[in-house]
Amino acid sequence: MLWVKAFHIVFVASWFAGLFYLPRIFVNLAMVTPGSVAERERLILMARKLMRFTTLLAVPALLLGLWLWQGYGIGRGPGNGWMHAKLFVVLLALGYHHACGRLLRKFIDDVNQRSHRWYRWFNEVPVLLLVAAVVLVVVKPF
């Protein structure tokens, strides 16, 4: 199970690296000067590739997490409230990932309505999710 845990950590870290960087590309896209077609297309290409790669990294992270959950039997019985909270954080991370895909689609369709400042704040969400997940797993506060 230690191999499973090690690879789970690697894939989660890689998935979150993509979630950290993708909204930063959105910040840059929101700041593109109208008429800068080449810059916009380059950033959209980067965002599309990163979204695809990030999605591919999320799948083994989730599957290995399920394997650990079943293998250790974590989350059943008293004193395991931390696992339920962590699973909620995972659902929020999946929702954030999905939201990134929807926002990318708006950039591709050239219908983005949000400012670069909004994307700067949006970019902070995965940091909070990762901190919450790590604290829940390591500290097990409840």
What pLDDT does residue 77 have?
A: 67
What pLDDT does residue 52 have?
A: 98
Mean of per-residue pLDDT scores for the chain: 95
Which domain range does residue 101 map to? Answer: 2-139
Domain count, the chain: 1
* pTM score of the predicted model: 0.93
* DSSP one-letter string for 33-100: PTT-HHHHHHHHHHHHHHHHHHHHHHHHHHHHHHHHHHHHTTT-STT-HHHHHHHHHHHHHHHHHHHH
What pLDDT does residue 73 have?
A: 73
Residue 50: CB partners within 8 Å, gap ≥ 6? 18, 21, 22, 25
What pLDDT does residue 76 have?
A: 67
